[in-house]
Amino acid sequence: MTTVARSAVRPAAPAAPTGDVLYAVHPGPLGDLVLAGPEPGVLASITVPDQRHATGVQPHWRREDTAFTEAARQLDAYFAGELREFSLTLSTPTSEFRRRVWEALDTIPYGTTVTYGELARRAGLPAASVRAVGGAVGRNPLTVVRPCHRVMGANGSLTGYAGGLDRKRFLLHLEGVLL
């Protein structure tokens, strides 16, 4: 299993998209985060308000505010500048292509950035797949924990963050990449 933000990740059974899903809402500096997963402590998604490609809370989901207390604790510590590596159980079933891209995201250390081209290389993909890699990054269901905010344009510009460029700028500033 790969690491998340260079952290220990424990595998979990895939979440059934139409089955039981638990969720909790956790306030933070990016807005109210929605944490969701198939069972307590097993995260399938973390989203921010108005995030592109986010599923959003569905009618069959059940709110359980204590379901993801460890994730909320770690997120709070990260936002306070006290945590650089997450250690959470994740369940994000996806295609083989996205899995490779997301595993490559997990290798980007705190406080550093890579380009989409470098991310493609880390995922073992050809340079010509950069646009598809960008699409996979944009579909990352675990904002902050899986550090898609650490991916930059080829010229170092802030591009392509599903949560919005202001949030990307905030996260990179928090990690000391931007002053």
User: Exactly one of 46, 136, 148, 171 is catalytic; which is it?
Assistant: 148
pLDDT for res 143: 94
Flag whether pLDDT at 9 surpasses 90: no
Chain position carrying tokens 């995201």: 105
pLDDT for res 19: 66
- CA-wise closest residue to 47 among 138, 133, 135, 131: 138
The residue length of the chain stands at 179
pLDDT for res 55: 82
Count how many Cα atoms sit within 13 Å of the Cα of residue 112 in the half-sphere of its side chain: 11
Above pLDDT 90, what percent of the chain?
81
Query: What's the whole-number mean pLDDT along residues 120-143?
Result: 95
Active site residue 148: yes
| Cβ–Cβ < 8 Å for 171, 144 | yes
> Cβ of 54: how many Cβ atoms within 10 Å?
18
Task: Dig out the tokens for 32 from the structure.
Answer: 């109210």
- CA-wise closest residue to 5 among 74, 62, 60, 73: 74
Flag whether pLDDT at 148 surpasses 60: yes
pLDDT for res 10: 39
pLDDT for res 179: 76
pLDDT for res 99: 95
Of residues 61 and 2, which shows the higher confidence score?
61
Confidence grade of residue 160 (pLDDT, cut at 50, 70, 90): confident
Query: Which residues are CB-neighbours of 115 under 8 A, at least 6 positions away?
Result: 151, 152, 153, 154, 156
pLDDT for res 111: 96
Answer whether 0.85 is exceeded by the pTM: yes
pLDDT for res 13: 37
Which class for 32: exposed (0-12), middle (13-18), buried (19 or more C-beta within 10 A)? exposed
CA–CA dist 127, 129 (Å, integer):
5
